[in-house]
Amino acid sequence: MIPTMWCWLKNRWRGEGGYRELLQMALPLVVSMGITSLQLFVDRVFLGWYSGKTMAASMQAGIAAFTIIVLFTSTAAYCNTFVAQYVGARRPDRVGLAVWQGAFFALGAWVVFLIASVFAGPLLDLVGHEAGLRVHEVTYFRIVLGGAGISVLSAALSSFFTGRGDTITVMLVTSLSVVINVGLNYLWIFGHAGFPEMGIAGAAWATVVANAVGACLFMLLMLRRRHRERFATASGFRFDRNLFVRLMRFGFPAGLTGMLDVLVWTIFLSLIGRVTTTGLIATAAAFSINQLAFMPMFGIGVSLSTLVGRRQGEYRPDVAARTVWSGIHLVTVYMVTIAACYVLVPRLFLALLAVNADPEEFRTYASTTIVLLRYVALYTVFDGFTITFISALRGAGDTRFPLIAATAVSYGLVVVPNWILYATGHATLYRFWTFTTACVIALSFVMLFRFLGGKWRSMRVIEEEVPPPYIAPHPDVPPLDIE
């Protein structure tokens, strides 16, 4: 039994589509996402030290802003699939051109963000939270959204590296950005080193500045000489209508899926905030803790999209499928471990939130947060499956089905029943969370069945290379001897 299992593991580790290939690409991204989630967690911890209300406000306003931002960042980030498939098809001259289409899209997105930020007050009035929360929410929302064009540009430029499998560069740039963000948070939230005390505004500005540094670094590295020569990163700086339309055709459904998904959580938080402020703070704490452990999953997701895209570019869907199942195995081990920690040692995660927080305020939501972490433990493995299968489908070009399915399941099992509970006066924090947990589990099975259906195997996002026109050879004609 043991020798057989050992042989199976060795075989699964080696070769294309095995654990080693996936981990070599995914680990730097897992580190990047882990560092990013740590930064978001530290943001919330700093704001929790500042006041519990600013922590809750940053969660609500952050998700509200991200609801708009994710439509554009996910669309721009879909350049990753184009880059991967062009690399797989051995057409590197199209890589730079594809990335620049995402950059041009980012410029248009920035205009939308600036206009939307003007209406921060009326938009957040729809949330219906108390005045003490609303003033912080508006401040955070306006600053983060106004600078979000940088995030979209960074998503497009970083796809040049992720799509080729150069995830170490992404890890290094992300790490530097996070260090800058955390440092500025400490200085600007509390007013250290001679800076004015800015509170939640300081956290928002720190995010914008750190994102700008990251975007500049990605652009400078992409324009290095070797990349200009091989991938046309400089000569590809032009608008290509056909390629831009293809990016919108495949990338926009992916972005819309992300936006509608985040909108579900925005509505979820809004309803909780209307019922109980303490429950909202506990939910913000549970989400912040889960973000710390869960964000690395997106690193595996991006790697899966890249590897599936590359194999689709090579017309090798069987290898792509093997990669996906390798990902499922790794995700299961990781998420089961995290879920066990949420159940067995929840206070370990709460310890950081407790440091420097007001003891009386912390006690009001700590016990509730522990209960919510049990809900998270129940659904987190299934959430990992959903990310894995959606990432694989997107890597092939299947973006419309996830949009339709995720919208139907999320709104059918979260928004509608929870709104009915609220409207009929039967809403409680734990009832809200019960429907949400059921939604995550159901969605994972929907995506599993879509993947097993196999329609993705025949998909590609890049255009087919047109062969040169065929010219029939002319037989030699003997010269005529005319006398």
Q: Around 392, how many Cα atoms within 13 Å sit in the side-chain half-sphere?
A: 30
In angstroms, the CA 48 to CA 58 distance is: 10
**pTM of the full structure:** 0.82
Cα distances from 331 to residues 254, 325, 419, in angstroms, run 22, 10, 33
Cα distances from 244 to residues 233, 250, 388, 391, 428, in angstroms, run 16, 10, 27, 21, 46
Q: Return the pLDDT at 366.
A: 85
pLDDT at 405 over 80: yes
pLDDT at 242 over 60: yes
Which 3 state secondary structure label does DSSP give 481? coil
Contacts of 76 (CB under 8 A, 6+ apart): 102, 103, 105, 106, 109, 152, 153, 155, 156, 159, 251, 255
Residue located via tokens 């998700």: 63
Consecutive H or E run containing 220: helix 200-222
Lowest mean pLDDT among 3-17, 265-279, 319-333, 427-441: 3-17
| Greatest mean pLDDT range, 90-94, 282-286, 292-296 | 90-94
pLDDT at 303 over 80: yes
| Greatest mean pLDDT range, 273-287, 292-306, 370-384 | 370-384
pLDDT at 480 over 50: no
Burial (CB < 10 A; 0-12, 13-18, 19+), residue 483, is exposed
Q: Return the pLDDT at 416.
A: 93
Q: Return the pLDDT at 40.
A: 74
pLDDT at 123 over 80: no
In angstroms, the CA 333 to CA 343 distance is: 16
Contacts of 174 (CB under 8 A, 6+ apart): 32, 35, 36, 214
Nearest partner of 443 among 364, 400, 390, judged by Cα: 390
Q: Return the pLDDT at 132.
A: 63
In angstroms, the CA 301 to CA 392 distance is: 8
Please answer whether residues 180 and 210 qualify as being in contact, where contact means their C-beta atoms are separated by less than 8 angstroms: yes
Mean pLDDT of 431-440: 93
Q: Return the pLDDT at 126.
A: 63
43 pLDDT tier (thresholds 50, 70, 90) = confident
| Greatest mean pLDDT range, 33-37, 133-137, 204-208 | 204-208
Average pLDDT, the chain: 86
pLDDT at 434 over 80: yes
Q: Return the pLDDT at 45.
A: 77
In angstroms, the CA 462 to CA 476 distance is: 41
pLDDT at 301 over 70: yes
pLDDT at 470 over 70: no
Mean pLDDT of 45-68: 76
Q: Return the pLDDT at 477.
A: 46
pLDDT at 176 over 50: yes
Q: Return the pLDDT at 479.
A: 46
Q: Return the pLDDT at 376.
A: 92
Question: What's the residue count for the chain?
Answer: 483
Mean pLDDT of 38-56: 75
Q: Return the pLDDT at 481.
A: 44
Q: Return the pLDDT at 468.
A: 46
Q: How does pLDDT run across 74-90, given as a tens digit for each residue?
A: 999 999 999 999 999 99
Which residue spans within 134-234 are E strands per DSSP? none
371 pLDDT tier (thresholds 50, 70, 90) = very high
3 pLDDT tier (thresholds 50, 70, 90) = low
